[in-house]
Structure 1
Amino acid sequence: MLDFESALKEKVKRINENLEAAFQQTPDIPPVILESMKYSLQAGGKRLRPMLMIETCRSLDGDVAVVMPLALAIEMIHTYSLIHDDLPAMDNDDLRRGKPTNHKVYGDAIAILAGDGLLNYAMETMLQGAEGLYGEMLIRYIDAMKTIMSASGISGMIGGQVADMQSENRVISMDEMDYIHLHKTGALLEAAVDCGCIIADAEPATRGRLTTYGHHIGLAFQIVDDILDIEGNVGDLGKPIGSDEKNHKSTFVTLYGLEASKIRVTELHSEALEMLKPIGQKTKFLQELAEYICTRRN
């Protein structure tokens, strides 16, 4: 596990370096908007989505240089969603990744525009990454872009966020809970894995197994979030605990209880690993990453 932790830190470092480089040649814009965008983007974070994309591609002997702009873009999209999620009109949170939330530092208006800026810059980054590609690789790259934008839009993350907001102050069904988890959180995690498969031109059966792996760990990730909202602490999480209760939201834990939620995470972990077995040793890091996601404390 120590080897995994060292590898994880190194991979996070490389993603952060690439994110920093992506903002080196920004146009002449008001300094406050760039500062606000970078404030949230560089505040830390696990970088799970870009890492899943890169490592899936690597495990299939794909071209990591081609997938990198897509990986950076998906992290920008994820970060924009966090900025907006923390706003007073949504979850109204004061802390994110151990720091004051964007709107607490820059105000609501700049925070909204910083989120908008990250979403647009994600698209610019992906389009720049398409330059110089041709033939089948360009077709696959465009397919990956479509996958990311669909997963982050109204049929993915945004749809899940809307359903999550509409779940406040009422008890929801398990079907509604699954929809929220699989769209608000799971969609981008699954899309990250799928994009790695697309760029690496994975065989259909392999792509199916890997996207199922992404599906399982995406659901597990959100259930662990629900558990940590009760059992975690601000020091580990870097954000307030009890926000679901504060906003009167149903969660997996409120529907099924704490122990059943932990059992479900264990089941999802096992099911995710089962998907990787036929692919072989090249998925070792993805196997360890699944364990990290399912046993995390932050």
Structure 2
Amino acid sequence: MVFILAVGAALMLGVGSAIQQRVAFRAPDGLALHVGLLWHLVRQRLWLLGLATTLLGGLLSGAALGKGSVVLVQPVLVLRLLFALSTAAIWSRRPLRPRDWATALAVTGGMVAFLVAGAPGTGNPEGVQDWEWAAPAFAIGTLTLLLVHVARRLRPNQEAPMLALGAGMLYGLQSALTQSAVHRLSTHGLLGLVTSWQPYAVFVIGLVGTLLAQSAFDLAPLSVSYPPLAVAEPLAGIAIGIGVLGGTLRFTPATFAVEAAGLIVMTLAVYLLASSPHIVGHHDEPSKEGADESG
């Protein structure tokens, strides 16, 4: 059931992200990292459709996290790139190339290898003390601020992946907090949930992550802006799931080798998939920077 929910979440997140990036890339220049970007996007019906789709994916992801572990769910969410690829291919009415299907299978194979070798365990989210969240929150918050500070000094095609990397780390933290919040709901009820800090942290982190992600989508095509997010989120989620939530992985020399190989294959395949013109959705368009220079 956890795997089915996670695959459903990946489907919704992949389709929704493809829609949102297509709209955000056409937003007016100069809005990146400004609330005005979100204000512009929420007035676009197509972007709202993408938002609704990703929110549904978030709900399915939350349900999966309530029954399983962030260490299990996050690797499955990598499959959203496969669904983004298919969505963009249908949208552009171009058949998928054999290279795209082979790379998609590599993403799936890497994920399966990691899950089978690691046999992720749920851990004990309810046993985590509030202060134990301070270290990962501080580390990710500091790294994100540093990335944003450096990114603002770079050209758009260099700025976008750094913003996406920060968004991915925030989403990984958000997923881990979501698992904690869902478990609190199941053990303490609705009153126990609304009187805790976790759901509000999930909302704030999600809002900041959305601003960073949409800013990255606004600055560069998906081939540049999406891979860092797609890679950083599961890695951050897995690290927090093990280090804070008490999730487990098998760590014998043999299983560790397979797990590492699976993650490496997934990461490389993510980049290859995102370089596909079907995922980019802008194969006939220059980057904004190039468009400005040519105009």
Q: TM over 0.5: same fold?
A: no
Q: Normalising by the residue count of structure 2, what TM-score does the alignment of the two structures yield? A: 0.29
Greater relative contact order (CA < 8 Å, ≥ 6 in sequence): 2
Q: Normalising by the residue count of structure 1, what TM-score does the alignment of the two structures yield? A: 0.29
